[in-house]
Structure 1
Amino acid sequence: MDYTEHDTARLRPEPAKGGALAGTRADGRSAFSRDRARVLHSAALRRLAGKTQVVGPGEGAEVTGVPRTRLTHSLEVAQIGRGIAEELGADPDLVDTAGLAHDIGHPPFGHNGERALDSVAATCGGFEGNAQTLRILTRLEPKLLGEEGATGGLNLTRACLDATTKYPWARKPGQVKYGVYPDDVPVFEWFRAGAPAERTCLEAQIMDWADDVAYSVHDVEDGVLAGRIKLRVLAHPDERAAVAEAAAKHFSHQSVSTLEDAAAELLALPVVAALASAEPDGSPGAQVALKRLTSELVGRFTTAAVTGTRKEFGEGPLGRYRARLCVPEQVAAEVALLKALALRYVMSDRRRLAMQEGQRELLVELVHALARRAPESLDPLFVPAWQTAPDDAGLLRVVIDQVASLTDAQAHVWYSWHVTRLHHG
């Protein structure tokens, strides 16, 4: 698809090599290729290697070998999204970048940490991983300097920022998901200029579906390897109903009965049936069968989305607001069921829930401890923002930004230093 100067514009014009303004550089790279390189080389992306996906880094490694982290998940999302973009004629680098960037706003301990920071950040607008992603891309990542010597973000193109935005609206009463904090609204309005209100562009829809596909398939793969998920439960009426209920409650608009029917169809797929009938034992044959399952399911889900979109919008390059991604109901149900499997058999384990409560308490106490001793307690990167914060809410937001930037291991170390050691003074 042809993207316009409006799409490739950057908030801050940049002289490029050869003297031309940012667009296509003298080395031949496109604006979106440059965006991808900026995200790929960012510290925020590297930190995802130490942040929880489903199983935390190092947690259960003796069982699963090498469980996925937020970084490996993001690489998989980028690859899946790139393949769909190529099939639909959207810019592959643009969707690839959105896949790489989509989770960089996640704090330590994944969604569990997100809930903790949202509770402690109530007086400064709350915390949401997607809104934090926008904040990192446009404000916190140290590619450029902003006002008063603070960091100024990566200065990505308008289309790229739009492609990373799953929820193009500010927080509303009673709404959990949103894409922008109040003090980031000006840059949000800049890159959303001309976009239909609260509608995601096709590239963001592709990234979102790639995220669902990677999350559902690969997290089930990790759960099977860890011995926590057994696909044969889908053959048991009571368990199948429980999984369908979880899918309907958390991941799907479809009815429980429809999802139960979809579960039966999912179980009937040869690759699923083969794995459900055998007890995984870690042997080469079992691991090949599991990898065949993940490969075929990813292919099934991505192909269905491409086929459904082409059926609705025809041939030719598609992108931005010229089309929407059309996912067949059966395939959407299968993805929701796989996500529900991980929720029921991995994330709802009682020992895990107890561990998560401790993680939330750790983050809340750490925020309070850093706020009491700031700015001395902060990384130097965050000190200019603290010094120029306009009010108490702005000061708290800086501390939240600091804690959200930490990896799981860093959160424990900072807690030990700033909370435990101070208590034992």
Structure 2
Amino acid sequence: MDGIASAAAASSHDHLPPAGYEASAVERWAAEPDKRPGRTAFQRDRARVLHSAALRRLAGKTQVVTPGEPSQAWDPSPRTRLTHSLECAQVGRELGAALGCDPDLVETACLSHDLGHPPFGHNGEQALNEFAGDCGGFEGNAQSLRLLTRLEPKRFVTDPESGEPVSVGLNLTRAALDAATKYPWPRGARPGDPHSVKFGVYEDDRPVFDWVRAGAPGTRTCFEAQVMDWSDDVAYSVHDLEDGLHAGHIEPACLQADPERQEIFAVAVGRYVPAGTDPEELAEALDRLLAQEWWPHGYDGSAVAQARLKDATSQLIGRFCLAAEHATREAYGGGRLTRYAAELVVPRGIRMECAVLKAVADLYVMQRDEQERLRARQRVVVLELADALTARAPEGLDPQFRALFRQADDDRARTRVIVDQIASLTDASARRLHARLAGRPGGRPRRP
């Protein structure tokens, strides 16, 4: 992408920016005309993500539990990365609009935030990070930026040095890419925690990242990204609890009894709340939720209980979003809160309530014995598939990645192409490709 860095300087203001946004927010990395006047730049961004193949593929990627597994016989259609992204987008759009953000911009960020996640959820992410250790690692959020700006075929420009067409991905606006960036720093540069596995950009994507972040105050996330991040937390904490209760994995009575409560708090501390948090603070948060008249006590799966559970889901989302809206307005007053004009304020007690819900789902859904056995098999699939594709590259790669592999300058770049192809797969397509390649000449088993 270095060869087209000059395209940024030519980016056009194809629309007047929406109220509350500066002209630079609607610039695109590569200038392009609008095919249908009358839309805002952020409406165009939203449409591009909605129509992308990457978003459709999320329907086949794990959210918490894998669709089609025997343990999911209770429900043939558990939440996927796609349904989660749609739910996150609905929450974020309304919360963002209430705070003065452009709703299309926030929705675009919410729809985009998980696009880079590989098959098998965070489990696949960890396996790919192991394989990609020599080329800068793997991180789903960094992969999302790469996909939006390079891998998703939508816009191409001519490289001024080679004369060859170069992809600029969906060519979203600067504000949309910034809003989709949860972790605006490279690997090992998280403020206060250089050992964190969370980061938002690979080294070879730095040119477009630096363009996106031009004028940003250090590693601070923009306001729309903060709204997206909280909407993500709200959506998955509430819906994972809902799915766990509906599946029978979570017994409502356990939330009121020791030692089960202490196990929940132990999961939360260090993973969902800062280390050193007093478990009593989490106990108070859980008790506040249990005391609500709408809490689904005694859930038994009946139609009435299902309706009550769905109402509790709505109540929780409203509780978490309204608390953030009111606290932020109290801090910043009325008017439009956009970009770097404000920070989202979420009361600590509300964050504790959200965290304890995450811990409940973590303990009773994700840490089940059969889930760990499944995750072990999935790691084998990813790592053996990486070895098999490496041995067969470039001919064994899909046409898009075959061309990128041939264009790669060195082994690090070639490894990154292998990672890109695997990250693009759904759970089912990863299994099928593994079954086709594993055990054949050139594919060496990597794990027992």
TM-score range normalised by the length of the shorter chain: over 0.9
Answer yes or no: is the 8 Å Cα contact 2:437–2:443 preserved in 1: no
The structure 1 residue matched to 2:202, chosen from 160, 181, 193, is 181
Distance in structure 2 (CA, Å) of the matches to 1:36 and 1:258: 40
| TM-score relative to the length of structure 2 | 0.90
What does residue 204 of structure 1 align with?
225
**Structure 2 Cα separation of the partners of residues 410 and 61 of structure 1:** 19
Q: Is 1:78 the equivalent of 2:97?
A: no
Shift of 1:339: 0.4
The 5-angstrom pairing of residues 148-167 of structure 1 reads 148-167=164-183
State the Cα deviation string for residues 86-144 of structure 1 (Å, max 9, x = none): 10010000000001010000000000000000000000000000000000000000001
Alignment deviations for residues 41-96 of structure 1 (CA, whole Å, 9 cap, x no partner): 00000000000000112234421342100000000000000000110010000000
Please say if 1:109 is aligned against 2:120: yes
1:98 is aligned to: 109
8 A Cα contact 1:150 1:382, kept in partner: no
- State the AA in 2 paired with 1:374: A
2:99 aligns with: 88
CA contact (8 A) 2:391 2:442 kept: no
Secondary structure, aligned partner of 2:286: helix
**What are the superposed Cα offsets for residues 125-182 of structure 1, whole Å, 9 maximum, x if unpaired?**
0000000000000000000125544533000000000000000000114221000000
Asked if 2 retains the 8 angstrom alpha-carbon contact of 1:106 and 1:114, the reply is yes
Shift of 1:390: 1.0
Distance across 1 between alignment mates of 2:251 and 2:56: 33
How big is the alpha-carbon RMSD for the aligned residues of Structure 1 and Structure 2? 1.5
Question: Relative to 1, partners in 2 of residues 1:424 and 1:105: Cα closer, same or farther, differing over 3 Å?
Answer: closer
Q: Does 1:259 align with 2:282?
A: yes
What is the identity percentage for the equivalent residue pairs of Structure 1 and Structure 2?
54
Measure the CA separation in 1 of the matches of 2:250 and 2:326. 31
**Aligned runs of 1:53-64 on 2, under 5 Å?**
53-59=63-69, 60-64=71-75
Listed as ranges, the gaps of 5+ residues in structure 2 are: 1-18, 189-193
SS in 1 for 2:438: helix
What is the letter of the counterpart of residue 191 of structure 1?
A: V
SS of structure 2 residue aligned to 1:309: helix
Which sections of structure 1, spanning at least 5 residues, go unmatched? 18-24
Residue 57 of structure 2 corresponds to which residue in structure 1?
A: 47
CA distance in structure 1 between the aligned counterparts of 2:186 and 2:281, rounded to whole angstroms: 33
Report the number of matched residues. 413
Amino acid at match of 2:151: L
Q: Is the CA contact (8 Å cut-off) linking 2:156 and 2:168 kept in structure 1?
A: yes
The within-5 A match list for 1:102-251 is 102-145=113-156, 147=159, 148-172=164-188, 173-251=194-272
Q: 1: CA distance between counterparts of 2:303 and 2:252?
A: 19
Structure 1 residues 305 and 358, CA gap change in structure 2 (3 angstroms): same
Partner of residue 20, structure 1: none
Distance 1:368 1:206 in 2: 39
Q: Is the 8 A contact 2:30 2:168 kept in 1?
A: no
Q: Deviations over 1:347-400 (max 9, x none)?
A: 111111011011011101101110111111111011221111110000000000
* Structure 1 segments of 4+ aligned residues over 6 angstroms from their partners: none
Instruction: Spell out, residue by residue over 1:198-229, the C-alpha distance to the aligned partner (whole angstroms, 9 max, x if none).
Output: 10001000000000000000011111111001
- 1:318 aligns to what? 337
Question: Is the 8 Å Cα contact of residues 100 and 335 (structure 2) preserved in structure 1?
Answer: yes
